[in-house]
Structure 1
Amino acid sequence: MAKRISMIDLFAGCGGMTSGFVAANGYKPVMAVEWDLHAAATYAANFGESHMRWGDIQDIKDDEIPAADVIIGGPPCQGFSNLGTRDVNDPRNKLWKEYIRFVRHARPKVFVIENVDRFLKSSEFSLLQAEVRHGGLLEGYELTYGLLLAADYGAPQRRKRTIVIGSRIGKIPLPEPTHGQGNPMGLKSWRTVHDAFKGKQLLDVPTVKALPDSSVSFFGEKVPGIYKSEDLHIGRTPTDVSLLRYAHVPPGGGRFDLPEELLPNCWKNKPSGTTDVMGRMRWDEPSLTIRTEFYKPEKGQYLHPQWEPGPNGYRVDRPITHREAALLQTFPDTYLWCGTKIQIAKQIGNAVPAVLAEAIARQIKPYILSA
């Protein structure tokens, strides 16, 4: 039997990174940690409850941390994000120190940190670099880091993420892109929104507005679920004004395509910036970044790409559904979900695209197996 690579997933969310690593074959999760109950329940529904620790990572004692070949995870990034306050004193930014504590006790051969693009310019990243130097908490590890674009690894989404690979078995380069824009030599073409939705029969305005009425127990707590991916194809009830706005926006367009009488005052008074809000996706391109409020077109380019010009043009005037967002994040269509509509949307938007995680897993695997 081939050697199994033991793995710990910290700040695991709903399991986006674990999904990618498991898809790369050979990885066995031995512990996962997540403080949000509904995200932890989604993880447990897909990968098992026994090794998921729901709760505050700081409550896990040193002697409870198992040995592992790999540690993966993305410490909360709200303080680093361009959408956040960027408060250097935000306690969430200090949770990466808990990540280091796990590395010191589990002694993995390799660790992987995922974060927002601005993490590379943060004071926390500078401190992380200092810890691998002589006398530091991570002495003996070598770091490789950079910005990876999810579209370059098969995701139908232009999502940039900082990836840091730490290794004590020799320096490991970041994975080379497998996809590129257009028809690049030696690479596959970027996957598009059309590729993600193809064959899923998603050209409709869902009549179902709510998740099924069901619940399940995880960690001794009752949570909504378990839902299949098909259950996530749920609609909203937009106002008449919203529907008029949607109808004016062509693929690739946004709020600047609206006639003045349909502009809210906040947009009338802001003639520049926020160019992607009230935006419509393009069939033949990857989407922009899927965030946690993808069901609100006023938050980004989240309108369904189907739009034909003319009074009789066929249009799907609605934001993408939860199921469509999960497909753009490359979750398998067999993935299971727990939580309310808002909670599941947060899980989807906060996740690492599974195929990006899989590319990283495949990159580090031969180094681990040969060590």
Structure 2
Amino acid sequence: MRGTGTDTSAPSARRPVAVDLFAGAGGLSLGLEQAGFDVVASVEYDPVHATTHAFNFPLTEVLCDDIGKLPESTLRRSVERGWANHHGDEPWDGEVDLVAGGPPCQGFSWIGKRQVDDARNDLIFHFFRLVNSLRPRYFLMENVPGIASGEHKELLADLIRRFENAGYVVPSPHILNAADYGVPQDRRRFILLGYRADVDPVAHPAPVVRPARPVRSTLRSNVEPLPAGPTVWDAIGDLPDLDQFPALATSDVTPLTRAQQNKMDLAASEYARRLRGLEDDPTDFAYRRKWDPSVLTSSWQTQHTDVSISRFAATEQGSTEKVSRFLRLAEEGLCNTLRAGTGGERGAHTSPRPLHPRNARVLSVREAARLHSFPDWFRLHSTKWNGFRQIGNAVPPIFGRALGRAVIEALGVQPAKPDEVLELTDEHLLYMAMGEATKYAGASHDSIPKSRRRSKPEPRLAEAV
């Protein structure tokens, strides 16, 4: 339904409707849900990530498809089905309040080669195409800061012109740091937030993303004064030592005794207590999930050589281990930017994973998820490779919540927490290899690169370094 030139966005009792493009495992989707949106549809190209997304968001219609080939009519039907999942037979007025997404950023990234002619750069224009087809009141695009610099600035200017010619107002973009919004990670991101020109600027002013606190981000507490807010140890200090669980040598899950849970409860910071569901978060308006806190998840051990362990142990907090180039996190500092590495179609390279501040090993997936602000009920794929890729590609949910909250405020909506509790049931979705996930998600093999059509063994982290 296209905008008619007259604002029809009067506030209603229903939760606003959002669609997430390039959704990954669901960091931005969760943040928008926490802000007060119903994310009715998500699109993700990678079948493994799409099945993980489907596990965590049972009401969302998850499309596993190539954005560059996705018909607009297919996306519209997916939104309609997602509305029905959330609201049953209640009629939908056809209006989408927000379309959001983070097109793959490798072509713009400062890490590695930045290429203007990288085919992935075209995805920002397919983002525009699908936004323009749904005609939402607001749109939100997240990317790496490199999209706003060098030769890529012309691509960005072209994108903004297309939005403006299509009837959208696009204020100046911003480079924001997730650490300013309560995430214990130094993660700078480009944010483009626009709104349809017929949206009443008096009733619904332009969105403003407000920092949770003033901050000057730093990785080492002995370099600059740290801002008030969660630190690395606030995020992971209550999690148990993985070496105490033999089962985690061959699995990503293990049961916890009551005594172990009590020990975690006593050690948990306010930040950790909220992620574990022990303390209410008044700014979180997501659906509650039914989950089992007596099971530690996403915690498969990484086996290091004795030589590596010795080097890791000798590395001071806040310093980089000289051979592996892994940063050993400082307890009272922020985590460095967690990165995804590359998929199987580009060599299946892992990205350097930070070292635990106290234990001589790299972080577990669950520890990285905590540093990214994922709650403990949120599950990542069982393999370390896919789990870390899903985190590195994701918008930290708490940061996504701040972005969504800006749009919620502009819409004039007072969010409320739903009464419904969602069950997370089919854990097999978290253990699917590429072939099975492709079949389950209904994805076309033609849309999956040849190198990813068969399951590959999990790439090993550089352990013998």
1:55 has 2:56 as partner: no
Structure 1's 118 and 155: CA in aligned 2 closer, same or farther, altered over 3 A? Answer: same
Q: Is the 8 A contact 2:252 2:300 kept in 1?
A: no
- How far apart are the structure 2 equivalents of 1:285 and 1:181? 12
AA aligned opposite 1:20: G
Distance 1:212 1:150 in 2: 28
Cα separation, partners in 2 of 1:50 and 1:326, compared to 1, 3 Å: closer
**What is the CA distance between 1:56 and its match in structure 2?**
1.1
CA distance in 1, matches of 2:244, 2:300: 9
Q: For the structure 1 residues 279 and 337, does the alpha-carbon distance in structure 2 shift closer, same or farther, using more than 3 Å as the test?
A: closer
Partner SS state of residue 53, structure 1: strand
> What is the deviation of 1:300?
4.5
CA distance in 1, matches of 2:73, 2:51: 25
> 2:28 corresponds to which residue?
17
1:128 aligns with 2:159: yes
Gap change, CA 1:235 and 1:178, over 3 Å in 2: same
State the SS of the aligned residue for 1:94. Answer: helix
Give the 3 Å change call, closer, same or farther, for CA 174–84 of structure 1 in structure 2.
Answer: farther
Note if contact 2:50-2:64 (Cα within 8 Å) is conserved in structure 1.
Answer: yes
Equivalent pair of 1:205/1:318 in contact (CA under 8 Å):
no
Q: Which residue of 1 aligns with 2:127?
A: 99
The residue number in structure 1 matching 2:214 is 180
Distance 2:353 2:193 in 1: 31
CA contact 1:278–1:299 (8 Å) conserved in 2: no
Is the 8 Å Cα contact of residues 75 and 99 (structure 1) preserved in structure 2? yes
Cα offset, 1:91, TM superposition: 1.1
Does the CA-based 8 Å contact 1:112-1:163 persist in structure 2? Answer: yes
1:159-238 matches, cutoff 5 A: 159-168=187-196, 169=199, 170=201, 172-181=206-215, 189-202=228-241, 204=243, 207=246, 208-211=248-251, 230-238=296-304
SS in 2 for 1:57: coil
Q: Residue 143 of structure 1: SS of its match in structure 2?
A: coil
CA drift of 1:36 comes to 0.4
Tell me the alpha carbon deviations over residues 16-54 of structure 1, each in whole angstroms, 9 at most, x when there is no partner.
0011111112x1122110010111111110112761101
Aligned-partner residue type, residue 106 of structure 1: L
Q: Structure 1 residues 206, 113: CA separation in 2 closer, same or farther (over 3 Å shift)?
A: farther
Change (3 A) 1:254 1:48: same
Q: List per-residue Cα deviations over 1:227-253 (Å, max 9, x = no partner).
A: 998221121111122112112201011
The answer to whether the 8 Å contact 2:326/2:354 transfers is yes
- 1:173: how far off? 4.5
Which amino acid in 2 is paired with 1:282? Answer: A
Q: Specify every segment of 5 or more residues in structure 2 that has no aligned partner in the other structure, as ranges.
A: 1-11, 77-94, 217-225, 254-290, 343-349, 414-465
Contact 1:254 1:301 in 2 (8 A): no
Contact 1:232 1:321 in 2 (8 A): yes
Post-superposition offset of 1:209: 2.5
Q: Report the 3-state secondary structure (helix = DSSP H, G, I; strand = E; otherwise coil) of the residue aligned with 1:82.
A: coil
Alpha-carbon shift at residue 120 of structure 1 (Å): 1.5
Question: In structure 2, what is the equivalent of residue 291 of structure 1?
Answer: 339
Match of 1:110 among 107, 130, 138: 138
Residue 297 of structure 2 aligns to a residue in which SS? helix
Q: Which moved more, 1:92-101 or 1:331-340?
A: 331-340
Please list the CA deviations of residues 67-126 of structure 1 after superposition, one character each: whole Å capped at 9, or x if unmatched. 511001000110111123211111111011111111111110100000001112223212
TM-score for both structures, normalised by structure 1: 0.79
> Identity of paired residues, percent?
32
- State the match for 1:143 in structure 2: 171
- 1:304 is aligned to 356
Q: Which amino acid counterpart does residue 52 of structure 2 have in structure 1? A: T
Q: Any conservation in 2 of the 1:190–1:286 contact (CA below 8 Å)?
A: no
TM-score by length of 2: 0.64
TM-superposed CA distance for 1:190, in Å, is: 2.7
Query: In structure 2, what is the equivalent of residue 220 of structure 1?
Result: none
Counterpart selection for 2:377 from 334, 340, 357: 334
Return the offset for 1:158.
0.6
**2: distance between equivalents of 1:250 and 1:173?**
43
Q: Which among 156, 163, 183 is matched to residue 184 of structure 2? A: 156
Q: What's the counterpart of residue 271 of structure 1?
A: none
> Structure 1, residues 315-353: CA drift from partner, whole Å, max 9, x if none?
x11111111001111011110233532112100111111
Q: CA deviation at 1:167?
A: 1.0
Q: 2: distance between equivalents of 1:212 and 1:322?
A: 9
Q: CA RMSD in A?
A: 2.8
Q: CA deviation at 1:203?
A: 7.1
- Contact residue 151 and residue 180 of structure 1 kept, 8 A: no
Letter in 1 for 2:318: G
Q: Considering fraction of residues, name the structure with more strand.
A: 1
The answer to whether the Cα contact below 8 Å between 1:150 and 1:356 also exists between their aligned partners in 2 is yes
What is the CA–CA distance in structure 1 between the aligned matches of 2:136 and 2:167, rounded to whole Å?
13
The aligned counterpart of 2:400 is 357
* Alignment counterpart, residue 37 of structure 1, candidates 35, 47, 62: 47
Q: Verify the 8 A CA contact 1:290 1:349 in the aligned structure 2.
A: yes
In 2: Cα distance, 1:151 partner to 1:50 partner: 28
Task: Write the distance in 2 (CA, Å) between the matches of 1:323 and 1:293.
Answer: 17
* Aligned CA distance change for structure 1 residues 293 and 202 (closer, same or farther; 3 Å): farther
Q: 1:159 to 1:337 in 2, by over 3 A?
A: same
The unaligned stretches of length 5 or more in structure 1 are 214-225, 257-262, 265-276, 307-315
1:8 is paired with a residue of what secondary structure?
strand
1:3 maps to what in 2?
A: 14
The aligned residue for residue 86 of structure 2 is: none
Hey, what's the Cα distance between the residues in 2 that align with 1:15 and 1:62? 22
Q: Deviations over 1:256-300 (max 9, x none)?
A: 5xxxxxx58xxxxxxxxxxxx222101101111011259xxx954
The letter of the residue matching 2:155 is E
1:119, 1:357 → 2: CA distance?
Answer: 19
Q: Distance in 2 between matches of 1:41 and 1:106?
A: 24
Separation in 1 of the partners of 2:243 and 2:25? 27
Please state whether the residue corresponding to 2:296 is helix, strand or coil.
Answer: helix
Query: Does 2:296 match 1:244?
Result: no
SS of the residue aligned with 2:51?
helix
Q: Distance in 2 between matches of 1:120 and 1:348?
A: 23
Alpha-carbon distance in structure 2 between the residues aligned to 1:282 and 1:77: 28
